[in-house]
Structures are given as structure tokens and as C-alpha cells.
Copies of this chain bind each other. A is one copy, B any other.
Amino acid sequence: MSDNTPRTNIDQLGEFGLIDRIMKPFSSRHPDTVLGVGDDAAIIQPGDEQLVITSDMLLEGIHFDLAYVPLEHLGYKAVAVNISDIAAMNAIPKQITVNLGLSNRFSVEAVEALYRGIGYACENYKVDLVGGDTTSSASGLVISVTAVGVAPSDLITRRSTVQESDIVCVTGDLGGAYLGLQILEREKQVYLDAPDQQPQLDKYSYVVRRQLRPEARMDLVHELRDVGVVPTAMIDVSDGLASELFHLSKQSNVGFRIFEENIPYDQQTYETAVEFQLSPITCALNGGEDYELLFTISQADYEKIKNQADIHSIGYAQKQELGLQLATKAGQLVDMQAQGWNHFEDKE
């Protein structure tokens, strides 16, 4: 993958010079961002609301492969996955900090591309970048982001408050990000075997985008406020639907019955799954990285959301003893396994 952009070595600028250069395009949006980058710590001052804080890390060779992940998308994704956690609390994101570990093989231009993506995400999600640490890395690229958000305490949605007979809903569609990863891995192999071959990605643009540049579903947070619905519980789908249901189940002491025919997936997800001889439903249940929102609402609230095209009711909460059950299209009830991504088993 060729690169004709200018290359400035990071040591030509030094750490402070690099920070000056990458921070120039960032300015503060929120009045409660009292002081941003440049001091020992940022100063933020929420009003009467509660504040939520979350932190996520992306490591090269585990969460991304720079052979096919553009740095701009990576910067965007590193922010989006944290905003997704703020959204899952039903809160409004306000500030982020970004810690970066860089090896010498990255040029200043590469770091700028990464921060350009971070900047797009800040713009899109209306958050202020208020600090962080930039350091050298002896090995791969490391990105660690912390996000802070606010919400009135009675709107904040936890994982532990599902009630029996609540309706289970999920936004968007599932399984696409996992299949996008399969495509990217396959095309990387094709490229390694025959470097003059162009990667064939057009046909898979939707699932590839789901993997490379996921969006946090802040639109749902605003939509729910508009229709006056507070979910009884919420979580974002980062490890796969089954894993998230497992978390809600464990923390709320309930079981779930989920209907296979109601689990949403995109047509391209379906076709790509078939091409890889995978079951689309398995991709949705165990694929992960879709960053959709999974939430429960009281039956009384169902009327208010049932006409929203992008919200799918997929089942209901039941007694804990009944466990996590999938009602298949064939009419069977099978126990779900909470797999999720287990990086410790999958990779060195």
C-alpha cells in the first residue's frame, strides 16, 4: 500500500513539538470545558448533572492491523467505541483524553492522519479533546481513550436494572463488522500472495465500513429523549449480542428469550456470511464490534418506540432460572452461549 505523502520523522519535532502540531486544530466546544490540553490536567465543570466516565484501549496486532486499517479511520474508531459506552449509559458525551504510544516507524504525517480521524469524531460527537499523553512505544501502536459524559441521574441507564417481562430492543443491524473483518483479512492474504492484485472491496463496502469506521449510536440517545422513553437498562454491542445479553442477565438476575427471526442483519451481511459459509445468526450473536445499542424497555413504553424503523424488538426478559434462550426459526428453544471475543485465547 503505497504512500506518496511527505514524511517527517517524529524526532525532528520532539515530543513537545509533536504535541503542539497535532493539537493546533482542536478547540473547545463546551462551556464546561474550563481548561483543555496543556496543563497537568484538564478542568471540566459539569452543572447539576451526573458525570459518567469510560476508558477503552486499542492495541496494534490485537484490535487492528495497519496493513488494511487507514489511520484516519482508526483514530475515528478509537473515539467512537468510547462514545458508544457513554451512549450506552444514555448520557451525552462532553470530553475525551487520548493517550498514544508510537514507534519510530510512524511519521508525523501518520500521526496527523490519526488525529484527523480523532478530530472528525470530536466534531461528529460534539466532544472536546482535553488532554492525554503521547509517548514512544517499543513495539506497536497503542491508543487509549477516556471519555466523560453527563446526564441527569434519572436518565442514566445501567446494566443491572432489567425487569422481568421487559422488552429487549436492539438498534441497526448486527454481524456486519465481523464479516467486514473476514473480508479485510482475506484481501490482505490475497495482497500478500500477489502484491500487484488490487483488493476487491466494492462489493463489501457496507460490512467493511462497519468494521473500519463504526458509529456510536448517539442518535438513539437523542431519539429516546424525544419520545420520552428511558430504557430500564442498556449496553452497547461490542462483543456480540450473546455476550451482551449475558452481561445484562448476570447483572440484572434475569433470563432472556430472543427470537431468531427478529435479529436484524443487513442484506450484505447475509450474503457475505453465506459466501464464507457462516451462519448470519452466529455472526450476529458472537461477531462483535457492531457498536449498536441493546436495551430493555417496559411494556408500557413499547407503543412509543414501535414505529421507529431502526429499533428492533427481539425478545423479552424472563425469570433467571429459564436462562438465555434462543427461539429458532424452526421453532426450537436452544440455550445461548456467551462467547464474546476472547483475545486471550485467540491470539498471542
Inter-chain CA distance A138–B50, complex, in Å, is 37
The answer, among B10, B60, B88, for a CB contact under 8 Å with A138, is: B60
The answer, among B14, B42, B46, for a CB contact under 8 Å with A54, is: B42
A160 interfacial by beta-carbon distance below 8 Å: yes
The answer, among B55, B104, B148, B251, for a CB contact under 8 Å with A344, is: B104
- A148: chain B residues within 8 A (beta carbon): 53
The answer, among B41, B135, B344, B346, for a CB contact under 8 Å with A89, is: B41
- A39: chain B residues within 8 A (beta carbon): 89, 158-160, 251
Binds B, one of A93-101, A174-182, A200-208, A321-329: A93-101
Q: How many copies does the complex hold?
A: 2
Chain A stretch 113-159: residues in CB contact (< 8 A) with chain B: 130-133, 135-140, 142, 144, 146-149, 153, 156, 158-159
Inter-chain CA distance A148–B14, complex, in Å, is 28
A292 interfacial by beta-carbon distance below 8 Å: no
Q: In the complex, are the beta carbons of A56 and B137 less than 8 A apart? A: no
A42 to chain B, nearest CB (A): 5
- A130: chain B residues within 8 A (beta carbon): 53
Q: In the complex, are the beta carbons of B38 and A45 less than 8 A apart? A: no
A-B contact pairs, 12 of them (CB 8 A): A41-B52, A41-B147, A43-B51, A54-B97, A55-B146, A62-B138, A63-B135, A97-B146, A136-B343, A138-B139, A138-B348, A146-B146
* A contacts, CB < 8 Å to B: 10-11, 14-16, 18, 34-35, 38-46, 50-57, 59-63, 84-86, 88-89, 91, 95, 97-104, 130-133, 135-140, 142, 144, 146-149, 153, 156, 158-160, 234-236, 251, 340-348
Question: Contacts A11-B342, A41-B147, A59-B101 given; 6 further ones with Cβ under 8 A?
Answer: A16-B340, A18-B344, A55-B97, A62-B136, A136-B346, A146-B146
